Structure 1
Amino acid sequence: MRELTTDGLLDAVRAWVVIESPTNDAEGVNRVADHAGTLLRGIGASIERMPGRDGYGDILVGRVAGEVNGPGLLLLGHMDTVHQRGVFGYRVEGDRAYGPGIYDMKGGNAMAVAALQHLHATGRRPRLPISVMMIPDEEVGSPSSRAAIEAEALRHRAALVFEPSGEGGKFTVGRHGIARWHLRTEGRPAHAGAYHAEGRSAVREMAHHILALESLTDHPRNFYVNIGIINGGTHENMVPAECSAICYALVPTAAEEAELRAAIHALPQHDPDVRTAVTAGLGRPPFAKTPAIQALYNYAAMLAAEAGLPSAGERVAGGGSDGNFTGALGVPTLDGLGVIGGGPHTREEYIELACLVPRTRMLARLFETLGPGVAGL
Structure 2
Amino acid sequence: MELFLQKHQIEMLKWIEKLVNIDSGSYFKQGVDKIGTLLTESYENLGFNVKVIEQEEFGNHLIIQHKDAIDPKIIILAHMDTVFAEGTSKDRPFHIEGNRAYGPGVIDMKASQISLLYAIKALIHEGYLGFKNIRIVINSDEEVGSPSSRAVIEREAIGKKYALVMEPARKDGSLVSSRRGKGNYTLIVEGKAAHSGIEPEKGRSAIEELAHKIIQLYELSDHEKGISVNVGMIEGGSSANTVSDHAEAQVDIRMIAIDQAERLEEKLEEICSSTGVSGTTVSLEGEMNRPPMEKNKKTRALLRIIQDVGDEIGVEIEDTATGGGSDASFTSTLGVATIDGLGPVGGNAHSEKEYLEIYTLVERSLLLATIIERLSTKR
1:219 and 2:220 aligned = no
TM-score (structure 1 length as normaliser): 0.93
- The aligned residue for residue 132 of structure 1 is 136
> Is the Cα contact below 8 Å between 2:205 and 2:243 reproduced in 1?
yes
Residue in structure 1 matching 2:207, options 203, 208, 212: 203
Quick one: which amino acid aligns to residue 4 of structure 1? Answer: L
Q: How has the CA–CA distance of structure 1 residues 43 and 298 changed in structure 2, closer, same or farther, with 3 Å as cutoff?
A: same
The alignment partner of 1:230 has SS state of: strand
- The aligned residue for residue 44 of structure 2 is 41
- The aligned residue for residue 332 of structure 2 is 327
> Is the Cα contact below 8 Å between 1:61 and 1:132 reproduced in 2?
yes
- The aligned residue for residue 74 of structure 2 is 73
1:60 and 2:62 aligned = yes
* Cα RMSD (Å): 1.8
> Is the Cα contact below 8 Å between 1:16 and 1:110 reproduced in 2?
no
- The aligned residue for residue 337 of structure 1 is 342
The alignment partner of 1:80 has SS state of: coil
- 1-side partners of 2:169 and 2:185: how far apart? 29
- 2-side partners of 1:82 and 1:320: how far apart? 14
> Which consecutive unaligned segments of at least 5 residues does structure 1 have?
none
- 2-side partners of 1:293 and 1:356: how far apart? 24
TM-score (structure 2 length as normaliser): 0.93
- The aligned residue for residue 351 of structure 1 is 356
Stretch deviating more after TM superposition (73-82 or 102-111): 102-111
- The aligned residue for residue 284 of structure 2 is 278
> Is the Cα contact below 8 Å between 1:127 and 1:369 reproduced in 2?
no
Note the 1:1-377 alignment, pairs <5 A. 3-5=4-6, 6-53=9-56, 55-64=57-66, 69-87=70-88, 88-126=92-130, 128-267=132-271, 268-281=274-287, 283-309=289-315, 311-371=316-376, 373-374=378-379
- 2-side partners of 1:154 and 1:282: how far apart? 21
> Is the Cα contact below 8 Å between 2:175 and 2:339 reproduced in 1?
yes
Deviation at 1:209, TM superposition (A): 0.6
The alignment partner of 2:185 has SS state of: strand
> Is the Cα contact below 8 Å between 2:299 and 2:338 reproduced in 1?
yes
The alignment partner of 2:363 has SS state of: helix
- 2-side partners of 1:23 and 1:96: how far apart? 25
Aligned length: 371
> Is the Cα contact below 8 Å between 2:166 and 2:341 reproduced in 1?
yes
> Which consecutive unaligned segments of at least 5 residues does structure 2 have?
none
Name whichever structure is richer in helix by fraction. Answer: 2
The alignment partner of 2:251 has SS state of: strand
Stretch deviating more after TM superposition (192-201 or 231-240): 231-240
Quick one: which amino acid aligns to residue 43 of structure 1? Answer: L
- 2-side partners of 1:121 and 1:306: how far apart? 20
Q: What are the superposed Cα offsets for residues 154-187 of structure 1, whole Å, 9 maximum, x if unpaired? A: 1422211000112411111221100122211110
Quick one: which amino acid aligns to residue 289 of structure 1? Answer: K
- 2-side partners of 1:282 and 1:217: how far apart? 16
The alignment partner of 2:352 has SS state of: coil
The alignment partner of 2:343 has SS state of: coil
Q: How has the CA–CA distance of structure 1 residues 51 and 146 changed in structure 2, closer, same or farther, with 3 Å as cutoff?
A: same
- 2-side partners of 1:256 and 1:367: how far apart? 34
The alignment partner of 2:289 has SS state of: coil
